[in-house]
Structure 1
Amino acid sequence: MKHEKARGQVSRRQFITGSAALGGSMLLPGFINSVWAAGSDAPEKREIRVGFIPLTDCASVIMAAEKKFDEKYGIKIIASKESSWASVRDKLLSGELDAAHVLYGLVYGLQLGAAGPQREMAMLMSLNNNGQAITLSNQLKQAGVTDAASLKKQVDASAKGTYTFAQTFPTGTHAMWLYYWLANAGIHPFNDVRNVVVPPPQMVVNMKIGNMSGFCVGEPWNQRAILDDIGYTAITTQEIWPDHPEKILGTTASWVTANPNAARALTAAVLDASRWIDTSDANRIETAQVIAGRAYVNSSVETIQGRMLGSYENGLGKKWQDSHSMRFFHDGEVNYPWLSDGMWFLTQQKRWGLLDQHPDYLAVAKKINRIDIYKQAASAVGGINLPSSDMRSSTLFDGKVWDGSNPAAYANSFAMQR
C-alpha cells in the first residue's frame, strides 16, 4: 500500500499559515500554549466524556487518559464505563456522552435509522483492527463440532432453532462477522438458528448457564471462555477478514459541528495513544495491566495479555502466534477512516434485511467518516502516514474481494440473504 508521509515538523509561521488554509483546526503539541493564548484553536470543551465497553479494544481511549496524551492536546478524557452497546447509543444521542468507543456498524445503523432513532453521526477514527472471535460451547465440542462444516452437520440434524447464537448489537460488527461465518457454511443465521443480543461482559456467564451454543464478541471474553473451560474458539474474525475494521471513535455530527477543535484534540490524543500501544510489546503488556483493572475491563491480566500479544490458543489443543492479532496503529493504517470500511457494513445490513433498499453507499460514508478531522489530528500528532486513496482492497476468507467499487453488486452477490 502506498502512503504519503505526513509532515511531523513545521515552523510556527508554516503552522499558522497552514491552519488558516485548512479553516483553522490544526494543532501541533509544541505550539499549544501560544496558539491558545490567541484563542484561535482552543478546544470548545476541555473535559470530554467518552463512553467505552469493557473490551480489550477500548485500550487506546483508556491509555490516552492514563498516559496523559489528552493533556498534551489540552483536554481531559473522562472515561465512562457502559453496560451495553444500547446504553452507549442512547447516551450518545442524549448528549450524556460526548463520544464513545463504539461499534462501526452501530454508528452507520443510526445514520440510516436501522439501529435506533435516525441521527446524523460522525466517525472520527478507527480504534483497532482484528481481535474478535466466534466461541462455541463445550456441549458442541462434545458433539464433535470443531469448525463451521461440522457445525452445519449438527444444525442440519436438529430441529430448526435448536441452537442459539449471540451477538452484541443488531447492526454491529459482531453480528456481521457471525452471520458471514454461518452463511458461508450454509447455515442461515435467522432461519436455521436463533440469534440473540447479549452485552459483551455477559457472554461467558450466559454460555455457562446454557443460554447459547455460540457467540461472537471481542476479547477478552473469548479467551475467558477457554480459561473458564466452558467454550472454545471456532474461528477468529481476522481469519474471516484479515485486518478488518472493528471499533471506532464515534459521536454525533452535531457534536463535531459544535466542537470541531475538541473533536480534533480528542482524535489526536487517541491516535497518539494508539501509536504508543503498538510501539512495543512492553507497551502492550503495560496496557493489558492497566485495562485489566476493575474500573475498566475487570478481568485478569492473563485473560487479556496473551491475545493482545498475538499468542493464541483455541481450546482444542492448537496454539499459534497470530500475524493479524489486534492492531491499534500499524503505521496509521488501522486508524484512517477508510470510506470502503464503512460501506462494507452497509452492504451486510442490506444483505440481512436491516436496510430495505440500497443506500447511496459512498455518499453515506463520506458524510459519516470525518476524514477532514482525522487529517487535522494526524498533523497535530506528527509523523502519521496518510494513504493516497480513501478506499482499500481486502480479500475475505471466502475469496470475495471488497474494494468499495460496486457496493450494490457486492451486496447482491451473496446467495444467502434475508
Structure 2
Amino acid sequence: MIIGWKNGWRRARRSLASGAVAFGVAAAGSAGAEPLKLEKDELKFGFIKLTDMAPLAIAYEKRYFEDEGLYVTLEPQANWKVLLDRVIDGQLDGAHMLAGQPLGATIGFGTKAPIVTAFSMDLNGNGITVSNEVWKEMKKHIPMGADGKPVHPIKADYLKPVVEKYKAVGKPFNMGMVFPVSTHNYELRYWLAAGGIHPGFYSPANITGQIKADAFLSVTPPPQMPATLEAGTIYGYCVGEPWNQQAVFKGIGVPVITDFEIWKNNPEKVFGVNKAWAEKYPNTHLAVLKALIRAAIWLDENNNANRPEAVKILARAEYVGADAKVIANSMTGTFEYEKGDKRAVPDFNVFFRYFATYPYYSDAVWYLTQMRRWGQIPESKPDSWYDKVAKDVYRPDLYLKAAELLIAEGKAKKSDFPFGTDGYRAPQKEFIDNITFDGRKPNGYLQQFPIGLKDGQKVTGADVIGG
C-alpha cells in the first residue's frame, strides 16, 4: 500500500509513488525558534523493512520532519547493498544503515565511498534463530532451570556438538546473516567463536568469509530469512526483528539468544549520509538529526508508553508490513524463544535511553576490530588508525549541535545527552565471553580472542601467516 500527500500551500498536488511514503511540510521550525536556513528541503530516505527503522517512521508520522521544514519521502529498499549504493550515487539523501556500512564503505571493503553518520538509531534488536531440527539436537546439551525451561543465555557451546556432527558426515553447517559488514555478521561470528566454532576468515582474494570455517555464513536479505530456513538452505540465522519472532509464530525455528545477551546494549543501526552531501547541506543535515532525535525520545519516553502505537505504525505495509502481534513481541519488552517461552526483555529495543542515539567513537572502533578479527581488514593497523577512521566517519559534534538546538527550543533536556564526553565509552565488560572491550586499545582487545587474527597476522590462501 502506498501513501503520499503534500500540503496545499507548498504544492497543490497529490503524490503517489510505488513503494514509497511521502509527507509534506506545513511549517518550518517551532514557534519562537529561528528556523535553520535549509539548503535542501525535499529529501528521500531509504530503509529496510525492520522494526529498528522506527525513528524514521515516527519522525515522519509525528510530523517532526515537517516541524523542521522538510519534505521527506521514505522508500523501502530491496537489500542493504542496493540501499548503500543508492546513497553513494545520490539517489537517496540518506538511509537507515547497518552500523558497519559507513565504516566499510569509507575504508573500501566493498564499494569505496566516504559515508558519515551523526545518529545512532538504536541499541540491541537482533537475535539468532536455529531450525527446529537443530534446536532439538542443541537442547540435549542445554541445562534446564527449575521451571523446566532452558537456562539463558544459551551459548554456542551447545551448538558445537551439532556442528561437529554435520562436519563428520561432510555436510556444511550453513547459516544466514544480512550483509558482510552487518552487526548480524559480527554478532553471529562473536557468538560462534565464543563457543569454539570457527566462523571463517575473509581475505582479499576470497571474500566469502568461509576460510577455515566450521560454520558457513552467507548473505540472506532479512525478510527472506524465515523462508530460507524453512527451505533447509540454512540451519540458522542472525537477523533483526520481526524475523526471529516470525520463525516462532510460523513454528519453523527457535530463537536461542538475543544480541543483548551477546553484548549488552550494543549499537545496531545508524542513519548514514554521503560525506559530500553532509558538507553541501549542513543545515539540512542538522534539521534531519533534530527530527530523528525527537522521534527516538518519543519511542522511549514514559517507560515505552508509546510502543503500542509504534507497533501499529510499523505493522503497516509501507513500513515493516508484518503482523502487529509479531512486531509487538519484541517492541513492547518481551521476547519469545521456544514457542510458549516468552520472557521479559525490556531493553530488547532501545531507541533513546542510555544515550542510544549518540554516535560513540568506541562503537565505531568495535566494528573495525571485528573487521580486522575476521580478515576484512587484511593487515594489522596501529591503534591510532582505528581512532582516525572512527573520527572520520562518526560525527558526535553534529549530533550535539542538533541536541543543543532542541534544548534551546524546549524540545529536549540537557541531561538526556552526554555533553563533555570525549566520544569513548568506559571499558565494556558485558559480553558473553567476558572479554573486556576498551575502544582506546583495539589491538590489545584483539589479542584476547582465542579465535581470530592477531597483530601481524594475515590470511594467505587457506592459511593464517605471521604474528
Q: CA RMSD in A?
A: 1.6
Closer, same or farther: CA 217–241 of 1 in aligned 2, 3 Å: same
Give the structure 2 partner of residue 369 of structure 1. Answer: 394
> C-alpha displacement at 1:251, in angstroms?
1.0
Give the structure 2 partner of residue 392 of structure 1. Answer: 425
Separation in structure 2 between the aligned mates of residue 163 and residue 317 of structure 1, nearest angstrom: 27
Separation in structure 1 between the aligned mates of residue 349 and residue 331 of structure 2, nearest angstrom: 6
Q: 2:257 aligns with which of 228, 235, 251?
A: 235
Give the structure 2 partner of residue 86 of structure 1. Answer: 81
Separation in structure 1 between the aligned mates of residue 221 and residue 406 of structure 2, nearest angstrom: 34
Residue 404 (str. 1) matches residue 427 (str. 2): no
Q: 1:299 aligns with which of 318, 322, 329?
A: 322
Give the structure 2 partner of residue 211 of structure 1. Answer: 233
Letter in 2 for 1:176: Y
> C-alpha displacement at 1:402, in angstroms?
1.5
Separation in structure 2 between the aligned mates of residue 139 and residue 342 of structure 1, nearest angstrom: 37
Give the structure 2 partner of residue 3 of structure 1. Answer: none
Give the structure 2 partner of residue 141 of structure 1. Answer: 135
Residue 262 (str. 1) matches residue 262 (str. 2): no
Q: 2:120 aligns with which of 115, 126, 141?
A: 126
Separation in structure 1 between the aligned mates of residue 138 and residue 357 of structure 2, nearest angstrom: 40
Separation in structure 1 between the aligned mates of residue 165 and residue 432 of structure 2, nearest angstrom: 26
Q: Equivalent pairs: percent with the same residue?
A: 34
Residue 187 (str. 1) matches residue 197 (str. 2): yes
Separation in structure 2 between the aligned mates of residue 186 and residue 324 of structure 1, nearest angstrom: 28
Give the structure 2 partner of residue 289 of structure 1. Answer: 312
Give 5+ residue unaligned stretches, structure 2.
1-27, 143-153, 201-212, 408-412, 454-467
Separation in structure 1 between the aligned mates of residue 85 and residue 97 of structure 2, nearest angstrom: 12
> C-alpha displacement at 1:409, in angstroms?
1.7
Q: 2:331 aligns with which of 303, 308, 321?
A: 308
Q: How does 1:316-355 map to 2 (within 5 A)?
A: 317-330=340-353, 333-355=355-377
Separation in structure 1 between the aligned mates of residue 41 and residue 59 of structure 2, nearest angstrom: 14
Give me the TM-score of the superposition, normalised by structure 1.
0.88
Letter in 2 for 1:306: N
Q: Secondary structure at the match of 2:353?
A: coil
Closer, same or farther: CA 151–230 of 1 in aligned 2, 3 Å: same
Separation in structure 2 between the aligned mates of residue 242 and residue 30 of structure 1, nearest angstrom: 40
Q: How does 1:165-184 map to 2 (within 5 A)?
A: 165-184=175-194
Separation in structure 2 between the aligned mates of residue 161 and residue 266 of structure 1, nearest angstrom: 49
Task: Decide whether the 8 Å contact of 1:135 with 1:231 is kept in 2.
Answer: yes
Closer, same or farther: CA 126–164 of 1 in aligned 2, 3 Å: same
Q: Secondary structure at the match of 1:29?
A: coil
Q: Secondary structure at the match of 2:356?
A: coil
Residue 158 (str. 1) matches residue 181 (str. 2): no
Give me the TM-score of the superposition, normalised by structure 2.
0.79
Q: Which has the higher contact order (CA 8 A, sep 6+)?
A: 1
Q: How does 1:14-93 map to 2 (within 5 A)?
A: 29-32=30-33, 35-36=34-35, 41-93=36-88
Closer, same or farther: CA 28–405 of 1 in aligned 2, 3 Å: farther
Letter in 1 for 2:30: P
Separation in structure 2 between the aligned mates of residue 153 and residue 316 of structure 1, nearest angstrom: 23
Letter in 2 for 1:154: V
Separation in structure 2 between the aligned mates of residue 351 and residue 293 of structure 1, nearest angstrom: 39
Q: Secondary structure at the match of 1:298?
A: coil
Separation in structure 2 between the aligned mates of residue 166 and residue 308 of structure 1, nearest angstrom: 23
Farther off after superposition, 351-360 or 291-300: 351-360
Letter in 1 for 2:336: E
Separation in structure 1 between the aligned mates of residue 340 and residue 326 of structure 2, nearest angstrom: 17
Farther off after superposition, 354-363 or 193-202: 354-363
Letter in 2 for 1:386: F
> C-alpha displacement at 1:117, in angstroms?
2.1
> C-alpha displacement at 1:306, in angstroms?
2.1
Letter in 1 for 2:243: W
> C-alpha displacement at 1:316, in angstroms?
5.3
Separation in structure 1 between the aligned mates of residue 417 and residue 55 of structure 2, nearest angstrom: 19
Task: Decide whether the 8 Å contact of 2:254 with 2:338 is kept in 1.
Answer: yes
Separation in structure 1 between the aligned mates of residue 374 and residue 262 of structure 2, nearest angstrom: 18
Residue 111 (str. 1) matches residue 102 (str. 2): no
> C-alpha displacement at 1:317, in angstroms?
4.5
Task: Decide whether the 8 Å contact of 2:373 with 2:446 is kept in 1.
Answer: yes
Separation in structure 2 between the aligned mates of residue 408 and residue 316 of structure 1, nearest angstrom: 42
Q: Secondary structure at the match of 2:377?
A: coil
> C-alpha displacement at 1:161, in angstroms?
5.3
Task: Decide whether the 8 Å contact of 1:125 with 1:374 is kept in 2.
Answer: yes
Task: Decide whether the 8 Å contact of 1:161 with 1:192 is kept in 2.
Answer: no
> C-alpha displacement at 1:49, in angstroms?
1.0
Task: Decide whether the 8 Å contact of 2:29 with 2:67 is kept in 1.
Answer: no
Letter in 1 for 2:93: D
Answer 1 or 2: which has greater helix percent. Answer: 1
**TM-superposition CA deviations, 1:270-305 (whole Å, max 9, x none):** 110110111144411111100111111110100001
Task: Decide whether the 8 Å contact of 2:175 with 2:215 is kept in 1.
Answer: yes
Separation in structure 1 between the aligned mates of residue 215 and residue 92 of structure 2, nearest angstrom: 35
Separation in structure 2 between the aligned mates of residue 177 and residue 371 of structure 1, nearest angstrom: 24
Q: Secondary structure at the match of 2:417?
A: strand
> C-alpha displacement at 1:141, in angstroms?
1.9
Corresponding pairs, count: 384
Task: Decide whether the 8 Å contact of 1:161 with 1:194 is kept in 2.
Answer: no
**TM-superposition CA deviations, 1:317-369 (whole Å, max 9, x none):** 532211422100016x1011111001100000000000012440011111111
Q: 2:405 aligns with which of 380, 386, 407?
A: 380
